[in-house]
Structures are given as C-alpha cells and as structure tokens.
Structure 1
C-alpha cells in the first residue's frame, strides 16, 4: 500500500474528533471493544433473525423491540440487494487504495452494476442519513475499491444491525469533500489537535478523563 495510506478507522475517528485519534494513537488503542463484534455479527444473520422468536431476539444486542426489529428486517427483505445483503459475495474484504486502506465488512455484487462496499456500524443511526464518521469511512471504502477495480464506485452502504437499518452513502460532492478534508486533517496535524467545539461529543469519548493537554492558539502565544 502507499506509504501515506491512512486506515479507514483512523479517518472515522478523525471525522468524529481529531483529538480522539491522537489519543488512540498515543495509547495504541485501535482495537474495538469486544461487544462491537457481537453487534456486527448481527449483520450476517438477517435471514435467521427474521424467523427468530421474540425471546430469541430479546436475548441479542439489538436496540429496538423484537417486533420493531422484525418489521425492519421485513423492510430490508424488500430491497433489490437483499440477497447480497443477507449473504454477501465477500465478507471482510481488505481494500487498499491510493490514499487509504481498511476493511469493507461486505462487498455486494448486484447484477452487472458496480460492487457496493458496506460498513457495519455498532452504533445508533441518526433520524436521517448517516453520521459523519461513518460517511467518511464509507466514502474511503468506495474510493479504495474504485482504485483497486479501476472503475467508478458511486455508492456505499452503512448498516446499523442493532437497529435493522441500512443507509446509502452516495459519493456526492459534499461527501467526497468531507472525506478529503478529513484526510488532510490526519496528514497535516502535528502535536495535540485542538478540542472540538461540540463538547457533546466528549460525553461519549473513552478519553474524556485523559484529554487534559492544554493547547495554545496563535492569539494566546502572541498575547492577543
């Protein structure tokens, strides 16, 4: 892979908070918690879970009621890409592009169209669309796949299996711009990045108790 290639996971962290990526690098803390894998595994059990009892579903790491979850799986089953979504051609595909590399949890091969990389998120989806970290990660996966296949990849998917929801991320100018800005941030940041303005993010951050390094702006250093 290219020497300056950035992992998808690093881009996702930086899209959430560059300072979080700094601490993850500092403490070599890039492995996801064990519970993340149990949630991601749901994305490979959709057919089975569609026939599961309410008690069986209640015992799983889903974040909605069994009845709601079953309804959402029924909606997924109506998708044109359902067969591939439930039983993907390729699982955990390592992709290496010009600027980034990482794992697409699924690669969907639907008809004669371009392959669709999929990112499986253990989190909660927003009311509409996809959170920025997953959008950036999805675009990164699509970019890397496009580089490998030497063809345009116009979209990726983000799955939230704990909620039975799948969202599309198209490679629009806006989404590609967010990816490029995040890539630039990762490559250009030196030292401890400034804190994000949205302190709501800090409440969920694993490094909130250690994020105490002071940063000084140019105005501060000049006494302004």
Structure 2
C-alpha cells in the first residue's frame, strides 16, 4: 500500500507537475513570508468586524478596509458563522488512505475541514489547486472518522471571503488526476507553454522557463 500523499503536493500537481518536482527536491521549501500573519485573520473575524477602518488598514488585508468590513458582514450571514469563528479543531493533521494534510479548522458537527488560503479567490468558486487540496482534506477526514464528508471550505481571510467546495464528480476527478501525477512523478515533467502560472512561480529560474515582457511582445 502506497504512503499517503501530502495534500499540498496534490495542489502543486494540479497547478503544475514540474513545480511539484522542483518543490520535492527543495530542502528549504515552506510557506512564503507573511502567510501565517494572513492566516491568523481567519481566527479573528468577530473582532475584525468591530475594528474601525483606520485600524483595519494596518492588517494584512488585500482589499480596502471598507470592502473588508462589507465582506465580513456578508460572512456573518452564513449559517455556519458561529462554527467558523469557534471551530471544533485548529491545525488538525488528517491522514487518510491516500492523502494526508492539515485542516486549518474543523468546522461544525459533523465536522468539515477548512483550508485557509493566504491568497485571493477567483471571481466565483475556488482555484483548482485549492479545490483539489480541499477534497483531499475531506477524504482524509472521512477516512479517519469513518463517516461521509461531502464538502470542505476554503477561506480567504485577506479579503474576508469563504467558499464551499463540494465533492462533486468533477472535483473528485480532479483530485484523482492530481493523485496519479503526484504518485507517478519520478521524472522531470515538461515545461508549461506560455502559461501565466510561470510568472509567479518560485522555481521559475531553476525550471528555465522563458517569460516575455510586454516590451518583447511588442517587438521593442
């Protein structure tokens, strides 16, 4: 039986298999600076909601203080607001049959896992790597508790938004694809071609991918 794959590796596999290859060979890999400060916001929603806009501006938020407070007001209308702000568990390591990872929160009873992202959400839904990671956490929780878990949460505390990821056929298929990639990755995968994903990748120089500036695209 194969060892469980890290949920963070599945997210990288969904984003770019080549990035996962380099990350696995990077002894110093870890979260970028500032991540923990942003994630801490997910445990302060009620106090942040009562913080005035001038004070909010000193926090690591990604939108204006006014927009942030409006987002938190909408968040307070969720049925699971009380569970989000007083989770049943925090930073819980979950180990399932195929994957393992840390749920930053366990929310509600029966519990669902919540992944706290330091980034910003797309206009609708959740980015695919985070959907894959959220599904992995839900499956690991289901395995551990021997119960059905049909959804997970992804929180974006830098903007005060929480999204639900349901274990739909499509989301489970994306998870299985990432799991196959992560398990079979014993070679250097091909580079992505003309992908915006390369622009912010920490392994861009090691990969050797060439990104083109606006000047070069215009022929200057």
| Superposition deviation, residue 87 in structure 1 | 1.4
Query: 1:194 is matched with which residue: 190, 194, 207?
Result: 190
Aligned match of 2:216: none
Aligned match of 2:174: 178
Give structure 1 stretches of 5+ with no counterpart.
214-224
Give structure 2 stretches of 5+ with no counterpart.
210-220
| Superposition deviation, residue 198 in structure 1 | 5.1
TM-score (normalizing by structure 2)? 0.92
Aligned mates of 2:51, 2:12 — CA distance in 1: 35
1:127 aligns with 2:147: no
| Superposition deviation, residue 122 in structure 1 | 0.5
Contact 2:88 2:111 in 1 (8 A): no
Aligned mates of 2:139, 2:36 — CA distance in 1: 25
- Written as runs of structure 1 = structure 2, the 5 A alignment for 1:99-114 is 99-110=98-109, 114=110
Aligned match of 1:61: 60
Deviations 1:151-178 (A, max 9, x none): 1100000000001110000000000000
Secondary structure of the equivalent of 2:183? helix
Aligned mates of 1:97, 1:30 — CA distance in 2: 24
| Superposition deviation, residue 54 in structure 1 | 0.9
Deviations 1:10-44 (A, max 9, x none): 11111111111111111224310231111101000
Query: 2:161 is matched with which residue: 165, 170, 173?
Result: 165
Aligned match of 2:4: 5
Aligned mates of 1:22, 1:151 — CA distance in 2: 33
Aligned match of 2:92: 93
1:19 aligns with 2:8: no
Aligned mates of 2:206, 2:8 — CA distance in 1: 21
Give structure 1 regions of 4+ aligned residues with deviation exceeding 2 angstroms. Answer: none
Aligned mates of 1:69, 1:13 — CA distance in 2: 29
Deviations 1:67-101 (A, max 9, x none): 11001111111111000101111100110000000
Deviations 1:122-172 (A, max 9, x none): 011000000001000000000000001111100000000001110000000
Aligned mates of 1:182, 1:52 — CA distance in 2: 41
Aligned mates of 1:85, 1:65 — CA distance in 2: 23
Aligned match of 1:84: 83
Contact 2:91 2:104 in 1 (8 A): yes
Aligned mates of 2:167, 2:46 — CA distance in 1: 29
Aligned mates of 1:52, 1:24 — CA distance in 2: 39
CA RMSD of aligned residues (A): 1.3
Aligned match of 1:144: 140
How many residues are treated as equivalent by the alignment?
209
